[in-house]
Amino acid sequence: MSLRSKIVLILAAVLALYVVLDVSVQRTMVAQSFVDLEREEAGAELELARKEIRAEVDQIEHVGRGWAAAGTPEALLAHFVPQEGSRPAGGDEGREDEPASPMAALEVDLVYLVEADGTVAWSRVEDPETRAAMRLRDFPSEALAPFHPLMLSSDGSGLTAGLMMTERGVLAVCTSPIREKAAEDVRTGDEGAGPLAAGARAGRRLIVGRLLDRVLAAAHAESMRTRLACFPLRSGELPQREAALLDSITTSTEPVTTVTEDEHLYMYTVLADVRGAPSILLRAEVERRITARGASVIRFALLSTAFTVLLILFVLLRILQRTVLDPIGRLTGHAVAIGKNDDTSARVGMERGDEIGTLATEFDRMIGKLAQSRAAHAEAARLVGMSEIATGVLHDIGNVLNSVSVSARLSAGQVRKLPVGDLEKVMEILRGVQDDMASFVANDPRGKHLVPFLDQVTTNLAAERAKVVDEMGKLAEGIEHIERLVRSQQDVAGAGPLLEPVSIAHQLESALRLAHCAGQGVEGDAIRVETELEDLPMARLDKHKLTEILVNLIRNACDSLDLAGKTRLVLRARRRDADTVRIEVEDEGVGIPAQDLSRIFNHGFTTKPQGHGFGLHTSANAAAQMHGRLFAESAGPGLGALFVLEVPLDAEATARAA
């Protein structure tokens, strides 16, 4: 990824994080403030409605008490009926031709004159909109039950005022006892008392009421955002939404607020009836104009923020492009060109007074110093390479010379054991009897043993000669390997390796002989070699490099067994896949610590007391030159080691594929 892309991503990520945080703040704080303001306004509207309802109750109570104390029942009823006559008890059916109701002018919708026993002496209920007579379930026209809420008084005064929930809506109602003075006036024989005068007596009550639907509508006519409604506080008569909230509404001391899917806010509170029991649910429905306005404000703020972010991103990128990215791109291109063309004489030549200019100047100076040091480094590398080659040659020759030295000592020992002294004694005897050889052989006791003796000597000499010839063959093979090593190292800068068909099993046996680990070793310790060899085809490899690697691995395994006092050495050869051979040299010697497995093939690193750290290093290089690999495994100190050499069956084909 380019530096420009990284900077763009970083800036975009930072600005996106800023946008996310800004959106979160807008939604969690600003938007919530609009919601809180809306709820506060709805609560204020609801509280205003409660106060107005309470004022209506107070007003109807004031009206009822005033009318009940105003005078006789005739004078009282004169407020509610036309002058041409009064309506009979229970006469609440309206006629189309009757004059306009005076109850409309008096702003009352219900008037009841009730005897002490609950009998209705006179009543009328009018629809507040049409002023037509109507019936209410809780107000029968014949009589009110003794336990009717309006017939009971908490303080015994007979005065009751409050709210009642009717099928027509909330009714502000007041029950007032009629003054005794009115009854006394009737008993004194007032001729103008009318039809009610005969029934006038103490305990009469006047009930007046006003339906609050039009009152609430009129009170909030100017506020087109809030609509008020009342419901009976009974789950069976509530709408589905309010019925679901009934428990929370009745148990909360504060108004309960909810928001619906149609973006309306509803706030609920409970009103007490004339008995003081909570029985009326007052709902304020608010169109969420404040929230909608807040949402539009937030959207505008977010759009403004997004535009600002894009503008900042564009300006920052332009500034970074001119002041940072273009100079760094020029410097990078110069460095890439030097890497491709290897021209250390080129200079970037960037004259700037800032850090990038300093970097360009120091880069030119560094390239100059690099050009000077390359020549010295090349010379030093050549000398080091020559030293490493010489060290590798000496190490490999040393390994082979070890076996050559053993073969030479064994050959010398076998020659010293030849029975030459016995033959010399026989020759001295034969020189003394050479003139009469036939008589000596036939008659002399010594002559009779001459032929068996010579036969035995001949047999011994033949056996010793075979041993000497075998050791001389090993000696010649070692010398040939030394010659080949010297020649290959001399030709390392010239021709490639000599590839020839090689038998893996044969090379393992040859390396085992050259390492002198099997059978009776140099130190006299018996090494027990186990082989597990698959039937492998001939491999096309550099025979001498393969032998060099195997000799090093077997020699190291033998040294490890000698240090650990163990004797078991396992050689394996099998196919890893169709094109690769896996050769394993496993011992139960001193093992390799885990921290040394990664550096055991480094030049100069060794774990042997008298090692030099050249063998495994050169072996790994030789394996790489054959397009193979060499690695080691060990469970830890004292648990032995496994060295694995993987080489292709055809190194030439592998080299062409590579």
Which tokens belong to 325? 């990215």
The amino acid at residue 159 is: L
Comparing CA positions, the residue from 17, 15, 22 lying closest to residue 315 is 15
In angstroms, the CA 220 to CA 46 distance is 11
Task: Looking at the structure, tell me whether residues 528 and 616 fall in a common domain.
Answer: yes
Which tokens belong to 340? 């491709």
Q: Which residue has the higher pLDDT, 282 or 383?
A: 282
Domain encompassing residue 408? 390-490
602 domain residue, yes or no: yes
373 domain residue, yes or no: no
Task: Looking at the structure, tell me whether residues 577 and 433 fall in a common domain.
Answer: no
Q: Which stretch of 169-183, 312-326, 623-637 has the lowest confidence by average pLDDT?
A: 169-183
The confidence band for 198, taking pLDDT boundaries of 50, 70 and 90, is very low
Q: Which residue has the higher pLDDT, 48 or 377?
A: 48
The residues with which 173 forms a beta bridge, in sequence order, are 162, 209
Q: Which residue has the higher pLDDT, 253 or 223?
A: 253
The residues with which 208 forms a beta bridge, in sequence order, are 111, 174
In angstroms, the CA 612 to CA 592 distance is 17
Task: Looking at the structure, tell me whether residues 394 and 474 fall in a common domain.
Answer: yes
> Residues 120-159: pLDDT tens digits?
888 889 888 888 889 998 899 899 888 888 887 766 667 8
Evaluate if residue 500 carries a pLDDT over 70. yes
The confidence band for 347, taking pLDDT boundaries of 50, 70 and 90, is confident
End-of-domain residue from the set 447, 470, 490: 490
Evaluate if residue 213 carries a pLDDT over 90. no
In angstroms, the CA 294 to CA 290 distance is 6
Q: Which residue has the higher pLDDT, 559 or 184?
A: 559
Evaluate if residue 510 carries a pLDDT over 80. yes
Comparing CA positions, the residue from 487, 558, 564 lying closest to residue 519 is 558
572 domain residue, yes or no: yes
> Rounded mean pLDDT of 299-323?
84
pTM equals: 0.44
According to the model, what pLDDT value does residue 585 have? 94
Exposed, middle or buried, 54 (CB in 10 Å: 0-12/13-18/19+)? middle
* b/e per residue 603-642 (b: at least 16 CB within 10 A): beebbeeeeebbbbbbbbbbbeebbbebebebeeeeebbb
End-of-domain residue from the set 465, 490, 515: 490
Task: Looking at the structure, tell me whether residues 209 and 230 fall in a common domain.
Answer: no
The secondary structure of 566-624, three-state, reads CCEEEEEEEEEECCEEEEEEEECCCCCCHHHHCCCCCCCCCCCCCCCCCHHHHHHHHHH
According to the model, what pLDDT value does residue 246 have? 83
CB 113 within 8 A of CB 206: yes
317 domain residue, yes or no: no
According to the model, what pLDDT value does residue 630 have? 92
The confidence band for 525, taking pLDDT boundaries of 50, 70 and 90, is low
> Rounded mean pLDDT of 420-448?
70
In angstroms, the CA 46 to CA 589 distance is 95
Evaluate if residue 638 carries a pLDDT over 60. yes
Task: Looking at the structure, tell me whether residues 212 and 233 fall in a common domain.
Answer: no
According to the model, what pLDDT value does residue 1 have? 67
632 domain residue, yes or no: yes
In angstroms, the CA 594 to CA 586 distance is 17
The secondary structure of 334-392, three-state, reads HHHHHHHHCCCCCCCCCCCCCHHHHHHHHHHHHHHHHHHHHHHHHHHHHHHHHHHHHHH
Task: Looking at the structure, tell me whether residues 520 and 629 fall in a common domain.
Answer: yes
> Residues 577-599: pLDDT tens digits?
988 999 999 999 999 998 888 78
DSSP SS3 for 248? helix
Evaluate if residue 84 carries a pLDDT over 70. no
Task: Looking at the structure, tell me whether residues 177 and 133 fall in a common domain.
Answer: yes
Task: Looking at the structure, tell me whether residues 475 and 536 fall in a common domain.
Answer: no
Residue 69 CA to chain centroid, in angstroms?
83
According to the model, what pLDDT value does residue 92 have? 46
Evaluate if residue 444 carries a pLDDT over 70. yes
Which tokens belong to 609? 């007391």
DSSP state of 178: P
In angstroms, the CA 178 to CA 65 distance is 8
Task: Looking at the structure, tell me whether residues 459 and 510 fall in a common domain.
Answer: no
Q: Which residue has the higher pLDDT, 216 or 252?
A: 252
Task: Say which CATH number the domain at 544 has.
Answer: 3.30.565.10
Task: Looking at the structure, tell me whether residues 232 and 195 fall in a common domain.
Answer: no
Comparing CA positions, the residue from 213, 219, 114 lying closest to residue 171 is 213
322 domain residue, yes or no: no
The confidence band for 333, taking pLDDT boundaries of 50, 70 and 90, is confident
Q: Which residue has the higher pLDDT, 210 or 485?
A: 210
Number of alpha carbons in the 13 Å side-chain half-sphere of residue 490: 6
The confidence band for 523, taking pLDDT boundaries of 50, 70 and 90, is very low
Rounded percentage of the chain residues whose pLDDT exceeds 90:
9
In angstroms, the CA 206 to CA 112 distance is 6
432 domain residue, yes or no: yes
In angstroms, the CA 63 to CA 209 distance is 10
> Residues 228-269: pLDDT tens digits?
888 888 767 788 888 888 888 888 888 888 877 667 788 888
Total domains present in the chain: 4
Evaluate if residue 439 carries a pLDDT over 60. yes
The confidence band for 81, taking pLDDT boundaries of 50, 70 and 90, is low
In angstroms, the CA 157 to CA 205 distance is 11
> Rounded mean pLDDT of 441-459?
72
Task: Looking at the structure, tell me whether residues 281 and 415 fall in a common domain.
Answer: no
Q: Which residue has the higher pLDDT, 48 or 73?
A: 48
* b/e per residue 339-360 (b: at least 16 CB within 10 A): eeeeeeeeebebeeeeebeebb
Q: Which residue has the higher pLDDT, 400 or 106?
A: 106
The confidence band for 183, taking pLDDT boundaries of 50, 70 and 90, is very low
DSSP state of 658: -
Alpha-carbon separation of residue 303 from 22, 31, 289, 316 (angstroms): 11, 16, 21, 20
- Taking phi first (over 0 means left), then psi (-120 to 50 degrees means alpha), and beta for anything else, what does residue 596 get? alpha
According to the model, what pLDDT value does residue 191 have? 40
Angle, alpha carbons 591-596-601 (nearest 5°): 100
End-of-domain residue from the set 438, 461, 490: 490
Task: Looking at the structure, tell me whether residues 649 and 539 fall in a common domain.
Answer: yes
Q: Report DSSP letters for 129-172, one per residue.
A: TT--B--BTTB-SSB--TTSGGG--SSSSS-EEEEEEETTEEEE
Average pLDDT, the chain: 77
What's phi and psi for 355, nearest 5 deg?
-65, -35
Evaluate if residue 299 carries a pLDDT over 60. yes
Which tokens belong to 590? 């001193």
In angstroms, the CA 59 to CA 333 distance is 94
608 domain residue, yes or no: yes
